[in-house]
Amino acid sequence: MQTRRKYLLALVLGICIGFISIIILYLINLNIVIETLETVEGASIVLLAYIIRLSILAGMAIYLFRRWFMQEKMYTSDLPFLFGMFFLFLMFGKLLEMLSNFMYPVVAQDVFLIYLKIRQFAIIATLAPMVFLSIMMIIIFLQANGKIKKYNDPRERNAISLKVLIIIAVVEAILIIVTPNTTVSGINMAIFIVLSLLVTTWMFYFSYRNKRLSQIQPLIIAIGFTGYLISNILRVLFQNIIGENASFIVTTEILDIIIGSVIFIGYIKKAKY
């Protein structure tokens, strides 16, 4: 019970700090947001699309964390926690994305770059739970093929997975900080997202083929992350062709809602093996 309370306190505190930080960013740029809503065509429709998306993400995160707290024993490597963190950080990322999209038509490029980098840190946090799970599955894959003979204890496997994740996050954070302009920043983040989603998709497909993670449906989740990967690639291509206008943003949000729903369905369904 004491552990459960500590987890709840840490989660609530983290969520509050996250929301307060984002609210401060919105308050700092409130005039810019209002100006965009008043002057840019379709901005109000974009706002509505983001509100719908954020509401769905919040519902998914609450459901997953509720399932985690209902368990007799709780570990931060549990699937409900990892998926809950994925959807929670995705929600924070969407709030920052909405702010940066509202700022883009108005502010100077150097100012926009700062907020773009903040948003990219949120992307790293969003993908971190899935990358952590992927690292664990890679270790299991190497063990199954006789490549490594240690880390048989789940606690050791979790510890080494966390260390590798921290190294990846630190390297990517340094790259974000030193990028000089929005073009280089966008390329850097696109590479990170594509590689992360490729590994995550492989991990769930590997789990399906080897009949692992039976408490969820890995194949459906793999399909969902494949859609997420394709969506991100197409987003970059079409963004360069037609620009990031209101229709483009609303369309991508609708697609992401569908893809996110597929991933969520894959979580709540159990594998038939």
Instruction: Assess contact for 223 and 265: CB atoms under 8 A.
Output: no
- pTM, two decimal places: 0.89
Which residue ranges make up each domain of the chain? 2-268
Q: Give Dmax over CA atoms of the chain in angstroms.
A: 62
Q: Into which CATH architecture does domain 2-268 fall?
A: Up-down Bundle (1.20)
CA distances from 263 to 16, 27, 207, 221 (A): 26, 33, 15, 5
pLDDT by 10s per residue, the chain, length 273 = 678 888 999 999 999 999 999 999 999 999 988 988 888 888 889 999 999 999 999 999 999 999 999 888 888 889 999 999 999 999 999 999 999 888 887 777 888 888 889 989 999 999 999 999 888 888 888 877 767 777 677 778 888 889 999 999 999 999 899 988 888 888 888 888 888 999 999 989 988 988 888 888 999 999 999 999 998 888 877 766 666 677 888 888 999 999 999 999 999 888 887
240 CB neighbour count, 10 Å cutoff: 10
